[in-house]
Amino acid sequence: MNTAIYVRVSTQRQAQAQTIEQQLEQLQSYANRQGWQIAQEYIFRDDGYSGARLNRPGLDQLRDQVAMAQINRLLVLAPDRLARNFVHQTLLVEELQNRGCQVEFLERPMSQDPHDQLLLQIRGAVAEYERTLIAERMRRGRLSKLQSGTLLPWTVVPYGYRCSIEHPRDPAGVEINPAQAAVVREIFSRYGTEHISLVQLSWHLHELGIPSPTGKDYWTRSSLRSILKNPCYMGQVFSNRTRSCPAQQRRSALKPIGRKSSTRQQDRSEWLLVCQIPAIISQEQFDAAQMNLQHNQQFGKRNNKTHEYLLRTLVSCGHCQSSCFSCARGKGYRYYVCNRRIVAKHLEGNDKCNASYIPAQQLEKIVWNDICEILQHPESITQAIEQLQAGQWLPQELQARLAQLKQAENNLQQQLERLTQAYLVNVVQLDEYQRRRAQLESQIQASVVQQQQLTLQAHKKLEVANLAQGIEEFCQRVKTGLSQASFDQKRKLIELLIDRVIVTGNEVEIRYVMPTHARGETTHFCHLRLDYFYLVSQQTAS
């Protein structure tokens, strides 16, 4: 039996204070007393990760190992080390136990006794409440210091400034970094007076050989935008400029979404002036940059409606997994282009994507013809479903097998009854009776399990049959008028049925999402992903 250890601390300060090492020492001492060996690869740790989140690297590795049946026992110091949230605690413990991993808490051991289970739930709720209180007290304390002007609102010093090493958040220790300040002035001067785009500004800085704030040889648009919108460069430090909100977009639909939150700028009336620091630019330069940001946002190429793109926001690059955007070249020739080829055209080596321009007219023709083919021949979808279910639907055969198993179970029950009668009249001795009874009960249990599995399989086959019927009805309804469909009608149908179009060289992969009911086109698009299944179509561009 493999035993694992999981330890966690919430902040880097706790990690530096060796509290995670103390957890490890206690858990390893307990394992040694029990005679359990802990392999180094089965020690999972999260240094500086909040217990309110499930997105933790150490916890993810632990859950993966448990899912592969590599771990049978897990030692944790206390339930709040596993998760602070009561619901998360319950889900994790249930998940691990269902996969054959026994969870043991050293400080607060539990059992299957209802009282222990209730106590675990109460402790989880208290830990969650305690975390909420701590967060609220920290928020109010931080707000008090910000209002008094004794605490800087940032944890990372803005580009162009430097702070005291001993007191990095003391406003009195803020100084101008001469070298970086020169770059900041160049950014505001070039962007505010020449009315260029952020991409052009990035190219300009790359040509000058100026590294980004993170030391890379190229500047991202988000880095430049954050500098241009930060009022600290004109000497005013504000807090409460942004707020956290759910993520609105992803860099690529083919990559993990990562954190499910982003930031949005607050209304200017809600900003809180913290203090004054040395200014790098003037108020006029800052205002000129804001005007150019607004102008580019309104008149940017993304708002150009001169050309229509049937697959807008749906095309991805098969080489680097990034999204493709649409553009026009020359005499109105339309293309889909990988984002990492154009925006980062100055990148070198593995960072730059060398995918070719994708002719929009040819790609849209391939995709639209494939949609028409599928809608006019829905039997291909039914075949794909049957392949997904690994075989044809044969309800008669399933019913016959169920009947055979039921008959076998009845025969075994009759044998068990005869065996019991023989024991009662002293024909069979006790030890022989117990041995044969155990064999018969084992066979009966195996028969019952097989019947349950076949019943479940029959339900699945019935669901697949209903699914195929619903898809055929859907296709019959929407295929009418495909040849005379307008651009808006085509676009609406494509948004409904296509998840992504992935282009890799001359190969086009179309990932469909087909509705599982006949009225699928009346359901809002955001809800379709829950009851759609994927159908992948491979095409080769000539």
Statement: residue 531 has pLDDT above 80: no
pLDDT digits (tens, 9 = 90+) for 188-204: 999 988 878 888 899 88
The conformational region for residue 258 under phi > 0 = left, psi -120 to 50 = alpha, else beta, is left
Percentage of residues of the chain with pLDDT beyond 90: 17
Statement: residue 45 has pLDDT above 60: yes
Statement: residue 226 has pLDDT above 80: yes
pLDDT for residue 136: 80
Statement: residue 289 has pLDDT above 70: yes
pLDDT for residue 251: 54
Say if residues 352 and 359 touch (Cβ distance below 8 Å): no
Give me 427's structure tokens: 């024909």
Statement: residue 345 has pLDDT above 70: no
Higher pLDDT, 332 or 486: 486
pLDDT for residue 184: 94
Write down the catalytic residue from 10, 202, 223, 326. Answer: 10
pLDDT grade, residue 267 (50/70/90)? confident
Which of 53-67, 229-243, 468-482 comes out lowest in average pLDDT? 468-482
pLDDT grade, residue 373 (50/70/90)? confident
pLDDT for residue 159: 94
CATH of domain 161-302: 3.90.1750.20
Say if residues 219 and 206 touch (Cβ distance below 8 Å): yes
**Residues forming beta bridges with residue 537, ordered by sequence position:** 510
pTM of the model: 0.48
Query: To 10 degrees, what angle do helices 198-207 and 221-228 make?
Result: 100
pLDDT grade, residue 115 (50/70/90)? low
Helix (H) or strand (E) holding 487: helix 487-497
Q: Which among 244, 275, 246, 276 is positioned nearest to 258, based on CA atoms? A: 246
pLDDT for residue 5: 94
pLDDT grade, residue 497 (50/70/90)? confident
User: What's the rounded mean pLDDT across residues 396-401?
Assistant: 64
Q: Reply yes or no on whether 10 is catalytic.
A: yes
* Tally of CB atoms within 10 A around 278: 13
User: What's the rounded mean pLDDT across residues 203-228?
Assistant: 89
pLDDT for residue 70: 86
Average pLDDT, the chain: 78
pLDDT for residue 350: 55
Statement: residue 440 has pLDDT above 80: yes
pLDDT digits (tens, 9 = 90+) for 174-190: 999 999 999 999 999 99
pLDDT for residue 535: 46
Statement: residue 158 has pLDDT above 90: yes
**Residues forming beta bridges with residue 162, ordered by sequence position:** 175
DSSP code of residue 231: G
Which of 44-48, 372-376, 534-538 comes out lowest in average pLDDT? 534-538
Say if residues 96 and 74 touch (Cβ distance below 8 Å): yes
Statement: residue 467 has pLDDT above 60: no
pLDDT for residue 518: 46
Q: Which among 160, 282, 308 is positioned nearest to 227, based on CA atoms? A: 160
pLDDT grade, residue 294 (50/70/90)? confident
Is 3-133 a CATH 3.10.20.30 domain? no
